[in-house]
Amino acid sequence: MPSDISDKKVKFLEEKALEIRELIIEMLLNAGSGHSAGPLGMADVFSSLYFHTLNHIPSKPDWEERDRLVLSNGHICPVRYAAMALSGYFPLSELKTLRQLGSRLQGHPHRTSLPGLETTSGPLGEGVSQAIGIALAGKMNKKDYHVYVVTGDGEHDEGNIWESVMMGARYKLDNLTVIIDRNNIQIDGFTEDVMPLESLKNKYESFGWHAEDIDGNNIREIVLTLDKVKTIHEMPSVIIARTIPGKGVHFMENNYYWHGNPPNKEQAKMAMKDLRTLKNKIESEY
By CB under 8 A, residue 260 contacts another protein:
no
Residues 71-130 that bind another protein (CB under 8 A): 110-112, 118-123, 125-126, 129-130
Choice from 8, 140, 233, 282 touching another protein (CB under 8 A)? 140
Select from 8-16, 53-61, 136-144, 233-241 the region that touches another protein (CB under 8 A). 136-144
Q: Measuring CA to CA, how many Å separate 60 from each of 66, 89, 90? A: 9, 8, 11
CB of 132 to another protein, least distance (A): 5
Query: Closer to another protein at the Cβ: 167 or 235?
Result: 167
The beta strands (E) that lie in the chain are given as 68-71, 147-152, 176-182, 185-186, 189-190, 210-215, 237-242
- Show the binding pattern over residues 156-185: x = contacts another protein (CB under 8 A), - = does not: ---xx--xx-xx--xx--------------
DSSP, res 260: S
What distance in Å separates the CA atoms of residue 212 and residue 239, rounded to the nearest whole number?
Answer: 5
Closest CA to 77 of 130, 129, 113: 113
Cβ atoms 131, 138 nearer than 8 A: no
Residues in the chain, overall count: 286
Query: Closer to another protein at the Cβ: 165 or 214?
Result: 165
Query: Closer to another protein at the Cβ: 32 or 123?
Result: 123
Query: Closer to another protein at the Cβ: 96 or 111?
Result: 111
Select from 134-142, 188-196, 255-263, 271-279 the region that touches another protein (CB under 8 A). 134-142
Strands 189-190 and 185-186: antiparallel
Q: Measuring CA to CA, how many Å separate 188 from each of 112, 116, 161, 195, 283? A: 31, 32, 20, 10, 37
Query: Closer to another protein at the Cβ: 134 or 268?
Result: 134
Query: Closer to another protein at the Cβ: 6 or 55?
Result: 55
199 prior amide bond cis, ω within 30: yes
Helices 127-140 & 159-170 angle (0-180, nearest 10): 20
Choice from 132, 179, 224, 238 touching another protein (CB under 8 A)? 132
Residues 6+ positions from 111 with CB-CB distance below 8 Å? 117, 118, 119, 120
CB of 99 to another protein, least distance (A): 17
Query: Closer to another protein at the Cβ: 110 or 220?
Result: 110
Contact positions toward another protein, by CB under 8 A? 70, 110-112, 118-123, 125-126, 129-138, 140-141, 159-160, 163-164, 166-167, 170-171
